[in-house]
């Protein structure tokens, strides 16, 4: 079951020639989820082979322009291209008014259902759930109300060892074994642990958008498989990071270390850095399993 993250944009504030503004696509199984939508996101989708019509949910972390100003254009393009399937949008409450005004001014009437879900910005909450996946939001510390997102795979069923089972066992009993339940069939007792294999451990991905270093997050993100954390500045600019409510590369690594993350990816780099290798070196000095993202990079969550 595929679980991956594609980086569409990794710059902070303004785009550069090599880095677009914040946007990511999470693929879970056959679903595509868009996180943030900076200006130019739909161009990046074309560049990196993301089909907009496959996106079913969009999550906007906060209303600084570099994180959402590409949204009206993306929705308008979906409309022009004949989209009919519903789209769910999770965002700060006032974005609904912004989009309504933009579409009214442009004379755009969406021909597909756009379901708007205002995010709870002050406390953690489950905002999406199906049989396989759960998505939570959690508050961050920034100039505007801002949230991060945690994608958590639900525990999967056990795997049957077919060689240890009769071919004619009813499907209902097989399902019970996959759930870890013991069963009896034709006077034979089958112990689930003897005829099945444990499922893979559930996987998770956390997206920490613009934020100050906030140590309490480590508790909520314990053991996350892949952690994205903004790293706008080097530690030499820690005072500026504090003033603008951003994090340094070192601080991002400190959070990954305290959260016991399996892997850290850093992004949202200030446009002042033509070369981000010093930020990567700074982070790796604290948390070795760190990568600096590039636009178009794909990270598999295993």
Token pair, residue 267, equals 């992004």
CB 22, CB 55: distance < 8 Å? no
CB 70, CB 37: distance < 8 Å? yes
Is 220 among the catalytic positions?
Answer: no
Q: What is the dihedral of CA 10, 288, 207, 299, to 10 degrees?
A: 70
Q: Give the residue from 158, 224, 227 showing the smallest Cα distance to 194.
A: 158
CA gyration radius, the chain: 22
DSSP string, 165-230: S-TT--HHHHHHHHTT--EEETTEEE-HHHHEEPPPPP-EEEEE-S----TTHHHHTTT-SEEEEE
Q: Which of 36, 66, 210, 295 is catalytic?
A: 66
DSSP string, 51-88: -GGGEEEEE----SGGGTTTHHHHHHHHHHTT--S-EE
CB 206, CB 302: distance < 8 Å? no
Q: Which residues are annotated as catalytic?
A: 66
């Amino acid at each position: 079951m595929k679980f991956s993250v594609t980086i569409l944009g990794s710059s902070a504030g303004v785009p550069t020639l090599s880095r677009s503004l914040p946007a990511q696509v999470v693929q879970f199984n056959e679903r595509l989820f868009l996180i943030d939508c900076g200006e130019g996101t739909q161009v990046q989708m074309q560049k990196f082979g993301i089909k907009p019509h496959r996106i079913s949910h969009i999550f906007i972390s906060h209303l600084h322009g570099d994180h959402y100003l590409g949204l009206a254009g993306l929705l308008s393009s979906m409309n022009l291209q004949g989209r009919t399937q519903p789209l769910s949008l999770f965002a700060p409450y006032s974005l609904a008014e912004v989009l309504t005004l933009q579409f009214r001014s442009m004379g755009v009437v969406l021909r597909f259902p756009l379901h708007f879900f205002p995010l709870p910005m002050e406390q953690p909450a489950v905002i999406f759930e199906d049989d396989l996946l759960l998505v939570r939001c959690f508050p961050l510390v920034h100039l505007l109300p801002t949230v991060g997102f945690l994608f958590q795979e639900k525990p999967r069923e056990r795997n049957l060892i077919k060689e240890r089972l009769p071919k004619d066992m009813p499907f209902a009993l097989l399902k019970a074994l996959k759930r870890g339940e013991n069963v009896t069939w034709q006077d034979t007792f089958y112990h689930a642990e003897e005829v099945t294999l444990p499922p893979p451990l559930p996987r998770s991905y956390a997206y920490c958008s613009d934020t100050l270093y906030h140590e309490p997050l480590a508790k909520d993100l314990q053991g996350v498989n892949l952690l994205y954390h903004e790293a706008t500045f080097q530690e030499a600019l820690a005072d500026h990071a504090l003033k603008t409510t951003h994090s340094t590369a070192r601080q991002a690594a400190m959070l990954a270390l305290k959260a016991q993350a399996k892997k850290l990816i850093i992004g949202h780099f200030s446009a002042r850095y033509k070369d981000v290798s010093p930020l990567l070196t700074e982070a790796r000095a604290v948390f070795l399993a760190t990568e600096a993202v590039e636009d178009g990079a794909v990270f598999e969550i295993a």
